[in-house]
Amino acid sequence: MRVMTILLAILCLVLTTLLILAARRLKSCSDMLKDATGPVSASLKILRNCISTFASGDLRVRAVMPAERSRSAAGRVLDELVRTGLTDFNTITDIPSRRVCFSGANSYHEGKIAGMRIAEILGGKGSVACIIPFYNQINHVLRMKGCLNYLEDQYPQIKTLGIFEGAGNREVSIQRTEEILEANKNLDILYVTDGHTPPSVVETIEKLGRKEVKVVAFDAMPENIALLKAGKISCLIEQNSFAQAFNALVHLYNAREAGWRPLTPKLFMQPISIDLRNYRTYWDDETNSRIMMDEERSDLAIPEPNKSGSRYRFALIMPLSTGFFEGLGRGAAAAKKTLAEYGVEVEVIDAFHEWADFGSASIFNPIIERFVREGYDGFATVVVDPPIVYSINDAVAAGLTVTTFNTEPSSFREIVLNMINNVENLADNSQSLAAAAEQSARATAQIGSSIDGIKEYIHEQKNRIAASDTELKGLNQMIGEVQKSLTGYGDLVEKLTSESMEGSRRVDGVFEETKGLKEMIGRIEAELTTFSQRLSQVREFAAVIEQLAENTNVLAINASIQAARAGTAGKAFAVVAGEVRTLAENSRHTAEDIRDMVGEITSNMAKILKESESGSNHVAQTLERAQEAKQSFESISSVIRSANTEISRIEGAMGGIVNMGSSVKGNMDEIDRMSNQSVDRLDEISRSVDELALQGSHLSETANTLRTMATNQGIVFSQLSVKESDE
């Protein structure tokens, strides 16, 4: 009986328990049903509406989180999943930042470089786990995605064992590392996306005796470099943090002072992979500090001149000034010093509070609001927390200029907006390019026409040179004939000089042979007759000289005309031609003097003949006349000597003319040769111009094609709602 009582009691207890459990389960199912039809359904409806709106082309849609939360455990799980989806959706359509530009590393590309190094370390096969600070820190998420996407696409034999949040905190990272190592005995590599927590990760690996697990992390800092040198970190992904902060401030100044704008708002810097093989290239062991390479220095921005004379008040916000951010601090300090010379005051603000709110908008936004209130001209900032973008856009709307550096979120909407802006720029530039190509084609055609004209002009010049060459040969021939005539005339003058000297000696004999004068009268008359005949010849020679002088003058005039036609090359020849004319004129005057003298001598001879007829009665007069004849002979000899001197000068001038003619001939031949070369080169230029015209045609076609493509893309993008109504 007692046993039956106990069994009934137990049965009642069991039934009661089952009823309680059933009631609880029923309540749980009821709560779950309420959650499914309530908060979860509301979240799914919001997500569905957002996706539908997005699919219709409105990229501005934002998901607003429902206020009601799920109560059941299963409902909370579902609710959290849907809310995560809404958060991810909002990252796609986040409002784009209106800052001028971003200077920093491409986080996704950094992750890809890390993936390449992990694949190299593992030999293409193994396992990897990833630790990021928080999912809301987009740069770390991109580092994670860049690495894991690369490994998944290129090395499917490398397995991903999980992604874990380490809060950017060393204590939390120790806990996460312990959990990862305990749960994954076959782990090969821990990939840490920040530079602050790797020392604690390495410490935990050593403490748990898992030294086979390798570490790939970020940032060349003294602690991390020491671990790299000790072989406890396999690879560090580094960026030029100095240049990021430096450029952010210099770009801020250039945008404010000179209206500078970059071709693309994302100014990425190449990531660097550092390991034991190359760390000395980037790290100085003596000073235990980072070395900036020449190619990294070339990335530094250059301030524009302060032409306006304005003074500016800027600020730079960082979440920390130690560790990795120490490099940013050095870059900011260097920019502050540099910009001080351009009338810029820079305030550097360390906005670190604690790791729990690292880079939070709750810290940054009040600082930005202060900048607006106090009338700053602009500021540069990192953007770890996406809501900071809203404060940035408000500051820009208030008139401040803003640049960002190191990290900032990037939404799909921003990518599309950049594409739209690029298409608009492409349309404008392609239209300008097409216009420039058409203008270039017209200029090319004009150049071709000008080249043809130059070639015709050169051919005409060559014809003129050929004609001048023929005339120059005729002139040289005439000069040769003049030289021959002068040579004959010189011989006659020499003979006349000899005869004149002989007559003078005979007149001298008259003084000594006065007694035999009568007997000598007949001979004197004969000699005087002969002398008179020779004087006639002298008169004729004077006429010949006069005629030669006249011909020489004509030749000199012709030579001057040809020299004028020859232009610059004939200037020297024109001078010689002028000198020949002068000599010809002197020769003509000399010939006239000779003719006058010969006339006078002839007249005297006539008188002597007349007196000789008077016979011996006029001996005294004959002696006196003989004296006069002697003087006349001396004058004749003097005149003949002067004529001989002038003839020598004429011969010298003629020799110079011949030499000058030869020089002119050589110059004309050189001009002809250079003309031939010019024609050849013009032919080459003409061919190049034709090729340029063809390329210009292709360029114009390409520009028009680009313009058409840009127009079509603009039509496509016009279907999307991307910009805010006030943009």
Right CATH for 461-676 from 1.10.287, 1.10.3470, 3.30.67, 1.20.1260 = 1.20.1260
In a 13 Å sphere around the CA of 708, the CA atoms on its Cβ side amount to 6
How far is 476 from 661, CA to CA, in rounded Å? 7
β-partners of residue 132 are: 165
| Cα separation values, 8 from 18, 19, 22, Å | 15, 16, 20
For 13: left if phi > 0, alpha if psi spans -120 to 50, otherwise beta; the answer is alpha
For 689: left if phi > 0, alpha if psi spans -120 to 50, otherwise beta; the answer is alpha
- pLDDT tens digits, residue range 341-394? 999 999 999 998 887 788 889 999 999 999 999 999 999 999 988 889 999 999
Q: How many residues does the chain have?
A: 727
* Overall pTM > 0.85: no
Q: For the chain, list residues with pLDDT below 50.
A: 3, 515, 726
β-partners of residue 238 are: 272
Look at domain 102-242 and name its CATH class: alpha beta
pLDDT at 590: 73
Paired tokens of 683: 């032919």
Tally DSSP H helices, then E strands, for the chain: 18, 14
Where does residue 377 rank: exposed (0-12), middle (13-18), buried (19+ CB within 10 A)? buried
pLDDT at 675: 64
pLDDT at 500: 60
How far is 671 from 567, CA to CA, in rounded Å? 12
pLDDT at 403: 97
Domain with CATH 3.40.50.2300 in the chain: 102-242
Residue closest to 103 by CA, chosen among 316, 257, 295: 316
How far is 633 from 628, CA to CA, in rounded Å? 9
- pLDDT tens digits, residue range 423-478? 566 566 666 666 666 666 666 666 666 666 665 666 666 666 666 666 656 656 66
Q: Can you say how many angstroms the Cα of residue 328 is from the centroid of all Cα atoms in its chain?
A: 31
Q: Which residues contact 34 (CB under 8 A, 6 or more apart)?
A: 71, 72, 75
Paired tokens of 552: 């020489």
How far is 478 from 473, CA to CA, in rounded Å? 9
How far is 311 from 340, CA to CA, in rounded Å? 10
Domain with CATH 1.20.1260 in the chain: 461-676
pLDDT at 494: 65
